[in-house]
Amino acid sequence: MTRHKRNVPRPKPGQPQVDEETGTTDNPPSFYVGFVVYLSFCGFAFNNIHIAQPEPYLDEVFHVPQAQKFCNGTFNQWDPKITTLPGTYLISAATVKLVAMFGFGGSDEDDGGCPTFFLRLFNFMIGFQNFQLIRGILEFYMKGENEWKIILAAVNVSMFPVLFFFNFLFYTDVTSTFWLLLMHLLFIRKSFWSSAICGALSILTRQTNVVWVAFHCMLMVFGKVEQLMKNESVPPTEVTDKNKKSRQRKSSHNLAGHSQEQRGSATKKSTWEILMDLADLGNMGGYIITILGFIIFVIWNGGIVVGDKEAHSVTLNFPQIGYFTIVFGLFAAPYIVSRITNTVSIVMNNIPWIFLGTMVALVVVHFNTVAHPYLLSDNRHYPFYFWKNIIQTLPWGRYSLAPNYVLIWTFIFSNSPGDKFPHYSVALFISAVVQLVPQLLLEFRYFIPVYLMARLAIPKASWLELIIEFFIAFGINLATLHLFVTRPFYWRDHPDELQRFMW
């Protein structure tokens, strides 16, 4: 018996070959070129950072010892200054110990066989996994684009400076981002339950990731609502030709009656049936279970964070939504500038709403500009200088940024993948509000998930936009690396302790 092969259309030149069964793509030459470029820069950065600062630095003084305790099999000791769940420490400890079984790794009992170098190396390797995940997501949003464009975009997003820097230190952000990216990739490939499991694992690395589990729920609900609205907008079939033959009249009459009966039964749907249609438990159940489980945890724990609750209490800090646009506007500048005509056109066509948004932003800035004590006392972080030189020093500084907040959010709304996910930008904005507003501390790392979900979803990109984006990311990463490695300083009250600039 002869088996016939299906005629699978060949991809256009420059486009990746997609496996229809798995949804994966073969690695084209462009992937290896991009990977080598990214690997080279990462290797250079990792080597220089570790040589300059071989000992744990800043938050690593909490993260590294905790992971080493887990490496040593001590699971009943917890540093009360750590606010996140132990997911990162468990995964890193297990990975380093597994590698040590093959003769690689430390053997010092003091560090449990997990020295700082290997814990940082764990993050370094997760960074490469993130590159691959970003590439897979971009193949979905940039479908039809040249494969070289997709790879360059993947390199650019992977080099997002706020995230890139922490590939080389042992912080929780890199592992947290890995689970978020994997959750989103599985979601767009319609592996919803696997995606939900990754969402649960992401919460084990950072509790606020529950917001992005809910984000995917919103995308599904908005899609269902859009589908229901389209179904209701179909006009009824009208039969008006009185000169048709009796058989045709009878057939048309029966068809019209059947349509009316269908419409009648549709209108008889109970509220419960409509809600069940929207819930789509078959696909959304995993996300809902994850969210409910997190709510139970918060009630049991008495809050979101697991340690240092006094310094991380929930507050209302609405300007955080605006501060995010400063970061997005800097690193996505090529897209914002090249598409400014379209953004301005949207502004001109929606002047009442833009005016209202600007007024709300000004009121929020005036009444709700607050600062965490950590922000004002720690000059090692870049947010300190943003606050000191603009928000705090210039009397008009905070107000002058309000129109920028509205303009950049307008850009994000107008460049979202509405053709793939209806109201994507609405879900993104809601998620940004829920994640950022309760945070009193201005910390650029908190913007990583929002930035990635906004940047990854930009559907098209020109070569000029991608090339300029690359040089912005590369230049800022190089400058950050230079400051960290070659510009250490000392505090007067800690003359023996070296300090370094970082995000």
What integer best gives the mean pLDDT of the chain? 86
pLDDT given for residue 12 in this prediction:
53
pLDDT given for residue 21 in this prediction:
45
Dist. CA 371–CA 383, nearest whole Å: 11
pLDDT given for residue 6 in this prediction:
46
Classify residue 108: in a domain, yes or no: no
Classify residue 489: in a domain, yes or no: no
pLDDT given for residue 424 in this prediction:
94
Q: Could you read off the pLDDT of 247-276 as tens digits, one per residue?
A: 444 444 444 444 444 444 445 566 656 666
Same domain assignment for residues 399 and 429? yes
Predicted confidence band at 25 (pLDDT cuts at 50, 70, 90)? low
Predicted confidence band at 244 (pLDDT cuts at 50, 70, 90)? very low
Same domain assignment for residues 308 and 446? no
Dist. CA 424–CA 453, nearest whole Å: 10
Q: What average pLDDT does this structure show over 490-495?
A: 88
Dist. CA 255–CA 249, nearest whole Å: 10
pLDDT given for residue 273 in this prediction:
61
Same domain assignment for residues 250 and 308? yes
Dist. CA 463–CA 148, nearest whole Å: 10
Same domain assignment for residues 234 and 276? yes
| C-alpha to C-alpha distances, 300 to 87, 208, 295, nearest whole angstrom | 19, 17, 9
Q: Do the Cβ atoms of 209 and 177 come closer than 8 Å? A: no
Last residue of a domain, one of 313, 343, 363: 313
Structure tokens belonging to residue 126: 């997760």
Dist. CA 435–CA 82, nearest whole Å: 19
Dist. CA 169–CA 217, nearest whole Å: 33
Same domain assignment for residues 292 and 327? no
Same domain assignment for residues 306 and 319? no
pLDDT given for residue 395 in this prediction:
76
Reply yes or no on whether the pLDDT at 498 is more than 60.
yes
Better pLDDT: 376 or 43: 43
Q: What average pLDDT does this structure show over 136-159?
A: 95
Predicted confidence band at 233 (pLDDT cuts at 50, 70, 90)? low
pLDDT given for residue 3 in this prediction:
46
pLDDT given for residue 107 in this prediction:
56
Classify residue 90: in a domain, yes or no: no
pTM for the model stands at 0.86
Q: Do the Cβ atoms of 486 and 478 come closer than 8 Å? A: no
Reply yes or no on whether the pLDDT at 2 is more than 70.
no
What contacts 203, CB < 8 A, 6 or more positions away? 85, 87, 209, 210, 213, 290, 294
Same domain assignment for residues 229 and 274? yes
Give 18's strand partners. 25
Classify residue 149: in a domain, yes or no: no
Half-sphere exposure of 374 toward its Cβ, with a 13 Å CA cutoff?
14
Predicted confidence band at 307 (pLDDT cuts at 50, 70, 90)? confident
Same domain assignment for residues 271 and 300? yes
Reply yes or no on whether the pLDDT at 155 is more than 80.
yes
Same domain assignment for residues 420 and 285? no
pLDDT given for residue 392 in this prediction:
86
Classify residue 354: in a domain, yes or no: yes
Domain that holds residue 426: 315-461
Q: Do the Cβ atoms of 173 and 181 come closer than 8 Å? A: no
Same domain assignment for residues 254 and 361? no
Same domain assignment for residues 218 and 248? yes
Q: Give the least confident one: 114-123, 177-186, 244-253.
A: 244-253
Same domain assignment for residues 406 and 456? yes
Classify residue 67: in a domain, yes or no: no
Classify residue 241: in a domain, yes or no: yes
pLDDT given for residue 177 in this prediction:
98
Predicted confidence band at 235 (pLDDT cuts at 50, 70, 90)? low
Phi, psi of 22 (to 5 degrees): -100, -20
Classify residue 120: in a domain, yes or no: no
Last residue of a domain, one of 286, 313, 340: 313
Number of domains the chain is built from: 2
Q: What average pLDDT does this structure show over 21-31?
A: 65
pLDDT given for residue 239 in this prediction:
39
Give 502's strand partners. 381
Give 227's strand partners. none
Last residue of a domain, one of 424, 443, 461: 461
Q: Do the Cβ atoms of 210 and 203 come closer than 8 Å? A: yes
Reply yes or no on whether the pLDDT at 389 is more than 50.
yes
